[in-house]
Amino acid sequence: MKLLAVVAAAAMATPSPQPSSQLKTIVNTRSTPFFTSIAQHFNAAVGPMLANDATLDQIDPQLVDLNDVFHHPDYAIRYSTIRVKLMGQVAELQKSLPFMQQQINQLRQGETLTKDPQDAKAIHQIAEKLQLAYNKQMQLETDLTGVVRSMMDYQPPDNLDIAQEELAEQQMPQDLRDIKSYLRFDGQRDVINQSENAAADSAITLVQHTCAINK
């Protein structure tokens, strides 16, 4: 995702030297309540959103392993390990959601800080794109919470017949054999990525063409 540097320099009147390890300043902007609101709330919403993307990256292989867990003699240990990892990863998603929603709401309220209807429309659309990404992250968190609860309720038997288990699995619909497919995991993540990038593109356009000094 191509964010964060977009409005990181908002409200700065003049360029300042930056170490090479820092984000590059794309544009310097006027210091007004409207532009300061964009910088503050856009970046504050995107920070945890990107962190959630990284957490979902970590969850992906756990779901792949869960599909395969009962194909191994040490299935009980594998199952317990996946369950513990998922519990921690889903908890990380849960913690970020309320703050993220608050920042998106405050970003949207930036419409009231400008008299330009085009600027107001632009900030509304940016907030809506972030809202869509948020909604998909929240949906995945809700669904994954359900997976964790189901895993907590189920205790694998000590004498599982792996061959019989594989035979029964082959007779199940694909969605029930593949937890990622059942959760529409990849499809929802595609929507998240597309919405994040659309928000970034709109934010870049707003900052460079409306907010920039000496544009």
Q: Which of 34-38, 87-91, 156-160, 174-178 has the lowest mean pLDDT?
A: 174-178
Q: State the chain's mean pLDDT as an integer.
A: 80
Residue 24 lies in a domain: no
pLDDT of 198 strictly over 50: yes
Residue 63 lies in a domain: yes
The answer to whether residues 29 and 35 touch, using CB atoms and an 8 Å cutoff, is yes
| pTM given for the model | 0.80
Residue 110 lies in a domain: no
Q: Which of 15-29, 40-54, 128-142 has the lowest mean pLDDT?
A: 15-29
If you average pLDDT over residues 36-42, what whole number do you get?
Answer: 86
Residue 94 lies in a domain: yes
> What is the DSSP code (8-state) at residue 109?
G
Q: Which domain holds residue 194?
A: 48-105+131-201
Instruction: Give the pLDDT of residue 178.
Output: 86
Residue 186 lies in a domain: yes
Q: Which of 45-49, 62-66, 93-97, 156-160 has the lowest mean pLDDT?
A: 156-160
Sign of the alpha-carbon torsion through 17, 22, 27, 28: negative
Contacts of 188 (CB under 8 A, 6+ apart): 136, 139, 140
Instruction: Give the pLDDT of residue 195.
Output: 95
Contacts of 35 (CB under 8 A, 6+ apart): 7, 10, 11, 29, 207, 211
pLDDT of 32 strictly over 50: yes
Instruction: Give the pLDDT of residue 17.
Output: 38
Residue 53 lies in a domain: yes
Please indicate whether residue 28 or residue 3 has the higher confidence score (pLDDT): 28
Residue 58 lies in a domain: yes
Instruction: Give the pLDDT of residue 207.
Output: 77
Beta bridge partners of 29: 212
Instruction: Give the pLDDT of residue 167.
Output: 45
Please give the tally of structural domains in the chain: 1
pLDDT of 166 strictly over 90: no
If you average pLDDT over residues 50-59, what whole number do you get?
Answer: 96
Residue 117 lies in a domain: no
Instruction: Give the pLDDT of residue 15.
Output: 35
**CA 164, CA 124: separation in Å to the nearest integer?**
55
**CA 78, CA 62: separation in Å to the nearest integer?**
10
